Amino acid sequence: EVHLVESGGGLVQPGGSLRLSCSTSGFTLSSYWMHWVRQAPGKGPVWLSRISTDGSSISYSDSVKGRFTISRDNAKKTVFLQMNSLREEDTALYYCTREVIVGVSAGDAFDIWGQGTMVTVSS
């Protein structure tokens, strides 16, 4: 069965850093583009970042560009999100999600989601 399990969340002060991990199982990670999405309490999801199968192509939303870094280790079946210069508005549940494959290409939608890891930025 396909699973994504996020970890690394917690309470951090403004300006601090956290590194989130997304451990995958049940599929070949190296075949899939992966994403991070967050959701603040009571709000809708917000897309953050995308990484290609081999890590050579990466993109970010304007809200986190320059502060967050996505990476992956296919051998360890894990995707990461390094978060620096954290702000109170970064407080949210952070999801790792897999991009669907349509035919032989990435499909611009998210078919598998983890349960999320909570990040709270507060002094």
Question: Does residue 95 belong to the site contacting other proteins (CB under 8 A)?
Answer: yes
97 near 110, Cβ under 8 Å?
yes
CB of 16 to other proteins, least distance (A): 26
Question: Does residue 113 belong to the site contacting other proteins (CB under 8 A)?
Answer: yes
Say which amino acid occupies 107: G
Choosing from 85, 109, 118, 122, the residue that interacts with other proteins (CB under 8 A) is 109
Say how many residues touch other proteins, by CB under 8 A: 24
Question: Does residue 108 belong to the site contacting other proteins (CB under 8 A)?
Answer: yes
Say which amino acid occupies 37: V
Residues 6 or more apart whose CB falls under 8 angstroms from that of 76 comprise none
* Residue 101 CB-density burial (10 A; 0-12 exposed, 13-18 middle, 19+ buried): middle
Q: Which residues bind other proteins (CB under 8 A)?
A: 35, 37, 44-47, 50, 57, 59-62, 95, 100, 102, 107-111, 113-116
